[in-house]
């Protein structure tokens, strides 16, 4: 890959704080330093409530850090991140639009004529395996099918960066594997920079080039960064059998375990605000 | 219960009620009429009154007037409700300023406005339309306001991340959401449009179903009052059926499209 390509996403000591109702300040993420190269697939793993999603929202421009900088392809991020596509954890499809309209809308708003937009949307629906479901409304689709539509909706705009917030979280184990393989196939075609948030370490290792671990919140920090030595292209269910996979899993888990216990202890004491 | 059996039972209820009514109003029991005809009339008289109205054709004029008033009240009230609802939801400061006044006006039983409207707009259809508008407006207004305010934050963030401008968000996100809330209250608001029209007619007019009932009452024609009531409820049922058809068409995307929320 070309060396000249600038870093896709760079967080320089980004600290994110929220003002609580009683005027105290809650620091969600403290001095996060993270960079994602062009074409790199990075997974962020951490215990529940550690601010993984917060970090993603900072990269998306939906949240502004209290201190520190965010740079997207070497440009400081001041508004929404126009280079990024965001796949949300919760249902984010427009419920009043059919599947194909949901996919086409991303093109339509940039001024592509409706007919062309629908044609391209049909191609994308087919590539996520839903070619025959274009006229269904979101409530007529299963959870996995909705995620596929969401993926097509984001990818049709051809964003340079893909931000994913536990996108397969609500799905069952088999569907998750199928979705993971679908994601890897699509990503392999043009290798966007991906920032993938999950609480599932196995999923992270199976998908990513790098796995980043966060500590339990509040004031969560990045406490580890591992390169995944597994060859591509990968098959999610097969890669889990490999020796390197197990070795890396054990290594990361030894660090992550303490944080998970800490996070669990905290969330069972006080009603945690954010997931 | 199978459908024919259910239908049969439903029919049975009507037959029993009407039969009892006819019996108690015409046959003295122990020398006493339990339903004195002067106050209760009887189904045969009520039925022949309805038949007379339809066969002579006088009823059509009244039905048309009431229908026209209801349609106008519904249209004007909905348009106003949608616009103000949108405006308030997008401008929280305006909403905050007007909040106590909106509550005050909404707390007022609308019937007391009828004399004012009659003074302002005369005895024609517009005083009835105005009464209906005050009823419809608030229902639509509150629903649209809620609809715009309660757009899912995820869907909204998704729209933003897909690159929508404020105007495009309006068209693709806020507007459909508000409309869905408005349509979910369609039955209620259409019903209130009819209520406004009929109550207005009853309180002072020269035509319409409310006028018909009021006239019959004025000459102690109980059969006429009952006949007016039956025609009115059939009229509302028909309108409600039409609304259901419209709703099915417009809210296909919603899982609970048929029930509605209003």
Instruction: Give phi and psi for A80, each to the nearest 5.
Output: -65, 150
Enumerate the domain spans of chain A. 1-83+214-275
The reported pLDDT for the residue numbered A271 is 52
Tell which residue, B244, B187, B183, B163, has the closest CA to residue A96: B183
pLDDT in tens, chain A (275 residues): 445 678 888 888 888 888 887 878 888 888 888 889 888 999 999 887 778 888 888 999 888 888 888 889 888 888 888 889 999 988 899 999 999 999 999 999 999 999 999 999 999 999 888 999 999 999 999 988 999 999 999 999 999 999 999 888 778 888 888 889 999 998 988 889 999 999 888 899 999 999 999 888 788 888 889 899 888 888 888 888 888 888 899 988 988 888 888 877 776 765 544 44
**Cβ(A60)–Cβ(B158) under 8 Å?**
no
Tell which residue, A157, A166, A150, A170, has the closest CA to residue A204: A166
**Cβ(A47)–Cβ(A259) under 8 Å?**
yes
Chain B residues touching A82 at Cβ < 8 A: 163
The reported pLDDT for the residue numbered B37 is 83
**Cβ(A97)–Cβ(A176) under 8 Å?**
no
**A124: CB partners within 8 A, 6+ apart:** A103, A152, A155, A156
Q: Residue with structure tokens 């190269």?
A: A37
Residues 51-90 on A with a CB inside 8 Å of B are 60, 62, 80-82, 84-86, 88, 90
Name the CA radius of gyration of chain A, rounded: 19
Q: Is the peptide bond before A233 cis (omega within 30 degrees of 0)?
A: yes
d(CA A43, CA A82): 21
Length of chain B: 262
The reported pLDDT for the residue numbered A93 is 94
The reported pLDDT for the residue numbered B257 is 47
The residue of chain A nearest to residue B180, with distances taken between CA atoms, is A96
Tokens of A164: 């994913």
Tokens of B225: 């009052």
The reported pLDDT for the residue numbered A4 is 63
Residue B163 has its nearest CB partner, among A91, A97, A110, at: A110
The reported pLDDT for the residue numbered A135 is 92
Name the CA radius of gyration of chain B, rounded: 23
Binary contact (A80, B155; C-beta < 8 A): no
Segments of chain B scoring below 70 in pLDDT: 256-262
Q: Is the dihedral of CA B158, B160, B161, B165 positive or negative?
A: positive
Binary contact (B161, A138; C-beta < 8 A): no
User: Check: CATH 1.20.120 for A1-83+214-275?
Assistant: no
Q: What is the pTM of this model?
A: 0.78
Q: Residue with structure tokens 């608001």?
A: B189
Question: What CA–CA distances, in Å, run from A28 to A17, A66, A274, B85, B126?
Answer: 6, 10, 9, 36, 60
Q: 3-class SS at A153?
A: helix
d(CA A156, CA B163): 12
The reported pLDDT for the residue numbered B256 is 63
Residue A94 has its nearest CB partner, among B155, B157, B165, at: B155
B172 has a chain A CB within 8 A of its CB: yes
Q: Residue with structure tokens 């920090």?
A: A221
User: Which residues are bridge partners to B153 per DSSP?
Assistant: none
């Amino acid at each position: 890959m070309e060396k000249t390509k600038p870093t896709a996403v760079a967080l320089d000591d980004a600290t994110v704080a929220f003002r609580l109702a009683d005027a105290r300040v809650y620091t969600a993420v403290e001095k996060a330093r993270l960079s994602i190269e062009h074409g790199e697939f990075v997974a962020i793993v951490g215990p529940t409530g550690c601010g993984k999603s917060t970090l993603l929202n900072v990269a998306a421009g939906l949240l502004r850090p209290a201190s520190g900088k965010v740079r997207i392809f070497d440009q400081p991020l001041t508004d929404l991140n126009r280079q990024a596509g965001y796949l949300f954890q919760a249902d984010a499809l427009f419920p009043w639009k059919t599947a194909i309209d949901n996919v086409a809308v991303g093109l339509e708003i940039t001024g592509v004529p409706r007919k062309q937009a629908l044609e391209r949307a049909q191609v994308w629906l087919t590539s996520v395996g839903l070619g025959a479901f274009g006229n269904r409304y979101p409530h007529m689709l299963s959870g996995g099918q909705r995620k596929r539509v969401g993926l097509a909706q984001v990818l049709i705009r051809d964003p340079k960066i893909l931000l994913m917030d536990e996108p397969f979280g609500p799905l069952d184990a088999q569907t998750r594997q199928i979705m993971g393989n679908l994601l890897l196939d699509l990503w392999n075609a043009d290798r966007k920079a991906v920032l993938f948030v999950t609480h599932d370490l196995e999923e992270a290792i199976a998908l990513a080039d790098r796995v980043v671990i966060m500590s339990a919140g509040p004031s969560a920090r990045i406490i580890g960064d591992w390169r995944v030595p597994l060859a591509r292209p990968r098959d999610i269910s097969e890669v889990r059998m490999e020796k390197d996979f197990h070795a890396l899993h054990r290594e990361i888990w030894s660090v992550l375990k303490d944080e998970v216990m800490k996070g669990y202890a905290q969330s069972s004491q006080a009603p945690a605000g954010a997931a | 219960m199978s459908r024919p059996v259910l239908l049969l039972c439903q029919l049975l209820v009507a037959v029993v009620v009407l039969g009892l009514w006819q019996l108690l109003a015409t046959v003295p029991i122990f020398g006493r009429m339990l339903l004195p005809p002067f106050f209760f009339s009887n189904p045969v008289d009520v039925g022949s009154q309805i038949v007379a109205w339809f066969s002579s054709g006088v009823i059509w004029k009244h039905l048309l007037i009431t229908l026209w008033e209801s349609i106008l009240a519904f249209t004007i009230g909905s348009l106003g409700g949608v616009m103000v609802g949108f405006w308030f939801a997008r401008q929280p400061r305006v909403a905050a300023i007007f909040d106590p006044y909106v509550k005050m006006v909404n707390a007022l039983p609308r019937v007391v406005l009828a004399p004012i409207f009659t003074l302002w707009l005369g005895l024609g259809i517009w005083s009835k339309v105005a009464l209906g508008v005050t009823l419809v407006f608030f229902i639509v207004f509150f629903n649209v306001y809620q609809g715009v305010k309660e757009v899912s934050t995820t869907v909204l963030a998704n729209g933003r991340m897909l690159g929508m401008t404020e105007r495009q968000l309006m068209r693709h996100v806020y507007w459909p959401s508000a409309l869905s809330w408005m349509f979910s209250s369609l039955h209620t608001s259409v019903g209130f449009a009819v209520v406004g029209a009929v109550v207005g007619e009853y309180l002072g007019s020269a035509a319409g179903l409310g006028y018909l009932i009021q006239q019959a009452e004025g000459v102690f024609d109980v059969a006429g009052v009952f006949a007016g009531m039956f025609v009115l409820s059939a009229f509302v049922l028909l309108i409600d059926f039409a609304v259901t058809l419209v709703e099915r068409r417009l809210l296909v995307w919603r899982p609970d499209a048929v029930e509605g929320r209003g």
